[in-house]
Chains A and B, each alone.
Chain A
Amino acid sequence: MTTLAMPTTLPNPLREGLAAERIPEPATMVIFGASGDLTKRKLLPALYSLTRERMLPGRFAVIGYARRAMSDDAFRNEMRAGCEEFARRRPVDPGVWEGFAPNLFYQAGEYDDPRAFVALRERLEQIERTLGLPGNRVFYLSIPPSSFATVVRNLGVSGLVPPPSGPAPASFSRVIIEKPFGTDLATAQRLNHDIHETLTEKQIYRIDHYLGKETVQNLLVFRFANGIFEPVWNNRYVDHVQITGAETVGVEGRGGYFEQAGILRDMVQNHLFQVVSLAAMEPPVALDADGVRDEKLKVLKALRPMPSSEIDAHVVRAQYAAGSIAGRAVPGYREESGVSPTSQTETFVALKFFIDSWRWMGVPFFLRSAKRMPKRVTEIAIHFKEAPRLLFGRRGGEGVRPNVLSIRIQPDEGISLNFGSKLPGQAMEVAPVTMEFRYGSSFGVEPPEAYERLILDCLLGDGTLFTRADEVEASWTWVSKIHEHWHAKAITQAAAGAVEPLPTYAAGSWGPEASDQLIGAGGRHWRRP
């Protein structure tokens, strides 16, 4: 084996024309938090699937990093078990695994120990030399949020990433940061400030796995590749918009975390506001990272500020009580492990809000998200205004309903449109019918997992489906007002010695009555997704 010494690397002409194949350059991915659940359930299975689909370069390595001591082989075995259980296509193909596994390595170390990062750098450089890797690096932070800033600082101090002010290096260094990105506006701003001391914004990939979902991306295609929808996508034709993010699961052993978060932080501020911004944004000038993110940001900035005096009227929160899910009894939230019996953390939230832009002025957006709902579903539904004159009002017009376009994000991704149709027969009777498009049946192929798409995009340097610093701060700006109001209210109630428990809803129901009242004015009601 010889070592190639080339002061300047000539471009690779054989790559030209292969851009459509979307194969990134050789690189190493370092996963911080490699002994955690996400690595085993999502990240390694995604990397394995990408290898299986031949979407990763021929030279690619993964280094798992965590506190727990473990050998390379033990890490490989653990990851194999994870892939066997969670990979999109199972069982694991032994032939693919044979080529993949030797390039998995493990390094133990603390997140706050700069010497451990120097050791990591030495190990990484040795692996890069051995495998002929060019120094392209992606660091995946699948660790507690409290360690984000420390790890990023240590990446810089140890020389694992070059200083942001230095000359542009030949190879890339990128950092993927998992959610939650801050717990309110102040902490998000502080975190952005801290990581910008080591990284430029272009190196930072704040991941929101919702954006990796096929239907979320299809929102862009649906809206901007078809000429017939955009003209009616505005306040002239749209009556209101409903967004539902429902889960059947409870806190699943993460009671301690959820107590600090609540559904508003856990789902709304990130996932669902990303969906809202894609659904409501203006056409971007270009389909590149900043083009799309600039438009999403404008939506988040146009969210009408909610004065404290209006929050109780526009925001409904509740906790699930004991009930039934999938035919079995489940406990209430306050009985879950790690949850305080006097908890005031919301597991249900419903919001009514407005986007003050020319397109959406006056159109109410209703958003609800909760745990322990009857079914797992995330969708956005555009409810159109009724026809200006109901010709069929007296004769068989019972079937006339406003048109609804619903975009199902998960599960069973697809789009459906409800419209009225004449029933066959002599009478002029109208019945609502549904025209459906389902990814599963129309294309007959399973879409890739969100993490596959997002990891690949990061390796290719495409930040379109990642969240920018200003987007994060804009959504926190709006959401934090609600948290501040709730916090102030709790203090007032505690001082008065009259703490009101949150309203409850039975597990397996669609939420408290108050949420029906929230949407009910004007004869509207929540869709049954």
Chain B
Amino acid sequence: MESAPSRSTVEKFSRGEAITVGVERIEKELAALWQAASRGEDGSESQPISRAALWNLVIPARGIDSLSRVKRLVDELAPALPARVITLCRGWGHALAGISATIESNVVSRPGGARLVFAEEITLTGEGAAADERHFGALVRSLQIPSLPTATLWFDASPADSLLSNELLPVSDRLVIDTGRCVGARELGAVCRLGAINRVEIGDLGWLRLAGFRLLFAGLFDPPVGGGPLAMASHIEIEHRGPKIASALLLAAWLGVQLGWRPLDAAPGFDKGTGIRLRFASTSKGSDGRERSVAVDLKPSPGECGTSGIVSLSLDAGGPGETYRVRRTADNHAELTVPIAPPRTVKLDSRSDAELCVGALGPAGHDPLLRRVLPFAERLADLVAARGAG
């Protein structure tokens, strides 16, 4: 007969502390602990608990620092997204006899003290031979809650990893990446290649961080302005926080996709050797009937950039004062400039990584536009990397 968990173990579990268990006993221990945690002080079933979960979340980490970041993210996610979280940690630094496991609860207290949201977190740690991707893969498959979708949150900037491709993607319904963690063009190109995986839906935290800029810039061309200035644009400038060029390339890719541009070349060294000029062929013809080109300058800037890495995005429509610009200002605001109205300041998006994850696991996690933008960004990243910049 199975022995019931000790009172101190149940209390630790209820407080959300990690409890070490054998990997083969994870499900049994979790079930026993939830049952025990549901009982009142006198052992009666006075506090029934729902183990709420909307997703199986698989989050690989590499090393103790990365694991700490993942743990913080999971704690922040819990109030908004009940889930079974399976964290996989490799690169621990010292050899382990096998894969070790801990389980913990994520309990969210509501105003008034009621504990309403319950989710659970399983952490699997391995090193050396024990961290063989096949072991992790098999454990993930055994621990997925049936009938719930599974998302892999892959925040590694070097995605050419067989754990992801061989073990996790085949059991995932959604892949969440973060192009915002990329610094240079090569990293961005590598992460964007994941966009070619068609069998899972894909969400990108970096793309969501740019949502505020994209929406505000798009709004500049709403009626009565319309798309005229965009069709006639010959020069666009994106100021980014150097040396993080990846977000600027993703933003340029969005413009390229939306405006039907074709990438021509990338010329590093613009702006006293620090900037990059991308050239595109536009779909609209010039007055001479020839194909028009559009220059997009990516300029490093020390300005305010929030979490998106973008300081400003501006389009010069040619005439004096014909500037359309979104510029980030202090305190997470942006100033909007259009020729037909006085400048206006609005609050910008400032979602935490956890909030962005919730977004990426919602409808924003299957944005068809992102599917088109990622390969375009990959081409831009390759152009820039080939010229030895970024």
Contacts of B221 in A (CB 8 A): 12, 14-15
Which of A10, A130, A445 touches B226 (beta carbons < 8 Å)? A10
Q: Which segment of A90-98, A249-257, A349-357 sits at the interface? A: A90-98
Query: How near does chain B come to A214, taking the closest CB pair, in angstroms?
Result: 15
Taking the nearest CB of chain A, how far is it from the CB of B3, in angstroms? 19
Q: Do B222 and A99 have beta carbons less than 8 Å apart? A: no
A6, A12, A96 — most chain B CB neighbours (10 Å): A12
Binds A, one of B65-73, B128-136, B209-217: B209-217
Interface majority SS (helix, strand, loop, mixed), chain A:
loop
CB-based nearest B residue for A93: B347
Q: Does B321 contact A (CB under 8 A)?
A: yes
Is B367 engaged at the interface, CB distance under 8 Å to the other chain? yes
List, in ascending order, chain B residues with CB within 8 A of A15's CB.
218, 221-222
A441 to B336, CA, bound (A): 38
Tell me, rounded to whole Å, the shortest Cβ–Cβ distance linking B357 to chain A: 13
Which residue of A3, A6, A16, A132 is within 8 Å of B258 (Cβ)? A16
Instruction: Give which listed residue, B214, B224, B338, B347, contacts A18 with CB less than 8 A.
Output: B214
Q: Which A residue sits closest to B341, measured CB to CB?
A: A132
Q: Are A23 and B347 in contact (CB under 8 A)?
A: no
Query: Would you call A170 an interface residue if the criterion is a C-beta within 8 Å of the partner chain's C-beta atoms?
Result: yes
Q: Mark B182-223, 1 if CB is under 8 A from A, else 0.
A: 000000000000000000000000000001101111111111
Q: Which of B56-64, B77-85, B146-154 participates in binding chain A? A: B77-85
| Alpha-carbon distance between A59 and B223 when the two chains are bound, in angstroms | 10
Q: Is A54 an interface residue when CB atoms closer than 8 A count as contact?
A: yes
A9 at the interface (CB under 8 A from B): yes
Binds A, one of B12-20, B97-105, B227-235, B270-278: B227-235
Selected from A11, A20, A436, A442, the residue in CB contact (under 8 A) with B227 is A11
**Residue A58 CB within 8 A of the other chain:** yes
Against B, the Cβ 8 Å flags (1 = close, 0 = not) of A467-506 are: 0000000000000000000000000000000000000000
Q: Are A95 and B332 in contact (CB under 8 A)?
A: yes
Contacting A at CB under 8 A, from B316-369, are 319, 321-322, 331-333, 336, 338-342, 344-347, 349, 358, 363-364, 367-369
Measured CB to CB, the nearest residue on chain B to A14 is B218
Asked whether any CB of chain A lies closer than 8 Å to the CB of B52, the reply is yes
Contact (Cβ within 8 A) B349 A54: yes
Residue from A16, A436, A442 with most neighbouring chain B CB atoms (10 Å): A442
When the two chains form the complex, which single residue of B82, B336, B341, B349 contacts A442, counting CB atoms closer than 8 Å? B82
**How far, in whole Å, are A14 and B227 apart by their CA atoms in the complex?**
8
Query: In this assembly, does A171 line the interface, its C-beta being within 8 Å of a C-beta of chain B?
Result: yes
Asked whether, in the complex, the Cβ of B110 is within 8 Å of the Cβ of A440, the reply is: yes
B345 touches A12 (CB 8 A): no
B336 contacts A58, CB within 8 Å? yes
Cβ A3 vs Cβ B340 within 8 A: yes
A309 within 8 A of B: no
Contact B349 A14 (CB under 8 A): no
Q: Say yes or no: A99 contacts B230, CB within 8 Å.
A: no
Contact of B222 among A20, A134, A440 (CB under 8 A): A134
| Shortest CB distance A437–B (Å) | 9
In the bound complex, residues from chain A placing their C-beta under 8 Å from that of B226 are 6, 9-12
Determine whether B96 belongs to the interface, using a CB cutoff of 8 Å to chain A.
no
Choose one: B78, B223, B333, B369; the contact of A17 (CB below 8 Å): B369
Interface residues of B in 216-258 (CB under 8 A from A): 216-228, 230-231, 255, 258
CA distance A445 to B359 in the complex (A): 12
Instruction: Please report the C-alpha to C-alpha distance between residue A16 and residue B79 in the assembled complex, in whole angstroms.
Output: 33
> Shortest CB–CB separation between residue B385 and chain A, in angstroms?
27
Q: Is the CB of A130 within 8 A of B258?
A: no
Point out the residues of chain B lying under 8 angstroms from A59, CB to CB. 219, 222, 341, 344
What residues on B are CB-neighbors of A310 within 8 Å?
Answer: none
In the complex, chain A residues whose CB is within 8 Å of the CB of B142? none
Q: B residues touching A (Cβ–Cβ < 8 Å)? A: 50, 52, 54, 78-82, 108, 110, 116-117, 211-212, 214-228, 230-231, 255, 258-260, 319, 321-322, 331-333, 336, 338-342, 344-347, 349, 358, 363-364, 367-369, 372
Given contacts A20-B367, A132-B340, 18 further A-B contacts (CB under 8 A): A1-B339, A3-B340, A6-B228, A11-B227, A12-B223, A12-B225, A12-B227, A13-B260, A14-B221, A15-B221, A15-B222, A18-B369, A20-B363, A58-B222, A58-B346, A95-B333, A99-B346, A171-B223
